[in-house]
Structure 1
Amino acid sequence: MEQQAQVQKKKSPIRLIILIVVLLVAGYFIFGKIRFALTHETTDDAQVEGQITPVLPRVSGYIKTLYIRDYDSVKAGQLVAEMDDADLLLQLKEMEANLAQSKIDIVNAKATLNNALVSLKVNKGNIDLSELRLKKAQQDLDRDKNLFAAEAITKKQLDNTQYNYETALQEYQNSHKDYNAADSRLAVLSASVEKAEASIAVQQAKIDQQKLKLTYTKIFAPQSGKIGKRNVSEGQYVQEGTPLFSIVDNSTYWVVANFKENQLQHLYRGKKVEIDIDAYPNLKITGTVANLSDATGAKFALLPPDNSSGNFVKVTQRVPVKINFDNIDQIKNLLRAGLSVYVVANNK
């Protein structure tokens, strides 16, 4: 028994030393964590962002050919898809035929207008002629009235002269009516010519628009980058504005980090930060704060919170902070939009 007690006494200092060392190491690490937390602002609510542009057709129709596959690299202006243009070409031919018919119609309308102008001149001449006849008939009537009063002519001769005067008067009035009718018809024919010309302009505009639509059947890449997953296949009918796929600009990336509102006092434009990407834990990356949002992330939500109604519960808000990579050219081939990152900024 005494020997066992002596052995325990000999072992007790070792255990104590181990415990003290463990406590010292744990204290050191805890102190380091506390010190780091007090001197740095961090967030894991951050991800890599990039320019993603959807490719949309500007006309409806069937996909004739797709020149790209999933995740292919493309250049700006490269032909990536083509739509069937058979229906549009038939519509264009019909429009051009209608335009040709309208041009023939306007030729006929102008010819009819010219005939009306000639008829108007003839009517004007008839007015002048009937006016001369009326003057002569008036003179004959006045003379025969004097002769009849002097009993130089008979009553029948005076009646004939009176009849000739009334006939000339009626012809004069009729010629004026014909002239007015021809003049009013001239206005109608002029309006018809203007309407035909306007119709030609409208049809020409439709033809130009149809030709523009035909150019839309060829779809070109709006920017350089990599294709995402295709949403359509050849032979599929798509509506105007339906997303076919997206192109990710693989030359420009940045980070959007959502810091808490009580962390913003040490963040400003131009501040250097450290960036750890979850996909590459051993990669040391630095960045620079490009800008801070003027509104919290909640304000950009579809239904932003309204604290003026209901019970209020204070929630710490987060503010998006845009961060540019310092060595983007060296790491852009490793980056992917949407990757999770961890951002560290010191309080100095």
Structure 2
Amino acid sequence: MNRRVVIPVVAVAAVVLASGYGLWWWQSGRFIESTDDAYVGGDISAISAKVAGYVQDIAVQDNMRVKKGELLVRLDARDYQAALMQASGEVDAQQAALADIAATRELQLATIVGSSAAVNAAQAVTEKTAGDSRRYGALALNSIVSAQTREYAQADYHQAVAQEGKARADKNVAERQLMVLDAREKQTQAALVQAQAGLEMAKLNLSYTEIRAPFDGVIGNRRAWSGAYVTSGTQLLSLVPAQGLWVDANFKENQLAHLQAGQKAQIVADVLPGRTFTGHVVSLSPATGSRFSILPAENATGNFTKIVQRVPVRIALEGDAANLGLLRPGLSVTVTVDEKPKP
């Protein structure tokens, strides 16, 4: 072919391609931000023992799928069963003490009624002997009765007064004994509440010997072995959620100007390079990743080298991509976010 023909054709093709690329960049390309510093994440739960004991049974294996509420690990529960029986006996003892106080209260109320009757009888005797003493005193002045009879009447009056005082004192003691019973009842009620709390704690500790799955997921990183002794807080295994996966994409600081929640994202995983997953931006981290590290960089030194910082961006996966299986926490992905504003 003649060079005079080829050169114009190539030039026209180049111009067309450049124009097409320029048009695409102007309409879409300039709104695209991409990064390959991105990884799949999930709410991986570290399952730990809440009480100490020997591992009696392990109901799961590595990479095994489990449902919420399924038994994972069982600890030896004999010590906690004994503690539960002891706590239950303490509650029964305090309830029996309250019943005894109630019976004693009824008896004391009857005693108070009897004391009131005794006071009334003593008061009546006192009034009678007081009248007799006055009458015999008047008769003795007129020498109608002897002085000895008057003295007997006065002695009977003083004796009646003393008996009335004793009856009133007995009634007062009986009433104060009722106050003592009230104090004992409050003390026993407090002890009963404490015993019931101990019973509830014993029930909880017994229930903690059976460790169950908090959600649907897959078992991983199993560290529990039959017969091993574990303490409170010992990590036994990890549970990877069966759904709800996301992507944490670390964008450079010069890519964040127009990133915002709700923007569409496309995700390509290294494990499935031929498939594109969809998602959307959920949120941006309030600080760069380096600020959350154990030893943040200190730039106030003489030897300063500027390093482009990255900010984690949380991206929610949509559809079946959020389910465990196609993607797994920790996998590397490439994320592309479309920042083009909606019309």
Which stretch shifts more, 94-103 or 124-133?
Answer: 94-103
Q: Structure 1 residue 325: deviation in Å?
A: 4.2
- Alignment gaps of 5+ in structure 1: 1-31
**1:177 is aligned to 2:172:** no
Q: What is the correspondence of 1:1-348 to structure 2 with a 5 Å cutoff?
A: 41-280=33-272, 282-296=273-287, 297-301=289-293, 315-325=307-317, 328-329=320-321, 333-345=325-337
Indicate if the aligned counterparts of 2:267 and 2:279 stay in contact, CA closer than 8 A.
no
TM-score (normalizing by structure 1): 0.77
Residue 28 of structure 1: aligned partner:
none
Residue 14 of structure 1: aligned partner:
none
TM-score (normalizing by structure 2): 0.78
Q: Secondary structure at the match of 2:74?
A: strand
Which stretch shifts more, 326-335 or 67-76?
Answer: 326-335
**Partners of 2:319 and 2:109 in 1: CA distance:** 82
Q: Structure 1 residue 331: deviation in Å?
A: 9.0
- Alignment gaps of 5+ in structure 2: 1-20
Q: 1:191 to 1:326 in 2, by over 3 A?
A: closer
Q: Structure 1 residue 330: deviation in Å?
A: 10
Indicate if the aligned counterparts of 2:244 and 2:323 stay in contact, CA closer than 8 A.
no
Q: CA RMSD in A?
A: 3.2
Indicate if the aligned counterparts of 2:243 and 2:323 stay in contact, CA closer than 8 A.
no
**Partners of 2:94 and 2:64 in 1: CA distance:** 49
Indicate if the aligned counterparts of 1:66 and 1:82 stay in contact, CA closer than 8 A.
yes
Indicate if the aligned counterparts of 2:43 and 2:241 stay in contact, CA closer than 8 A.
yes
Indicate if the aligned counterparts of 1:270 and 1:288 stay in contact, CA closer than 8 A.
no
Q: 1:327 to 1:104 in 2, by over 3 A?
A: closer
Which stretch shifts more, 329-338 or 122-131?
Answer: 329-338
**Partners of 2:54 and 2:243 in 1: CA distance:** 32
Q: 1:273 to 1:175 in 2, by over 3 A?
A: closer
- Aligned partner letter, 2:177: R
Q: 1:324 to 1:156 in 2, by over 3 A?
A: closer
- Aligned partner letter, 1:293: L
| Structure whose CA Rg is larger | 1
Indicate if the aligned counterparts of 1:292 and 1:319 stay in contact, CA closer than 8 A.
no
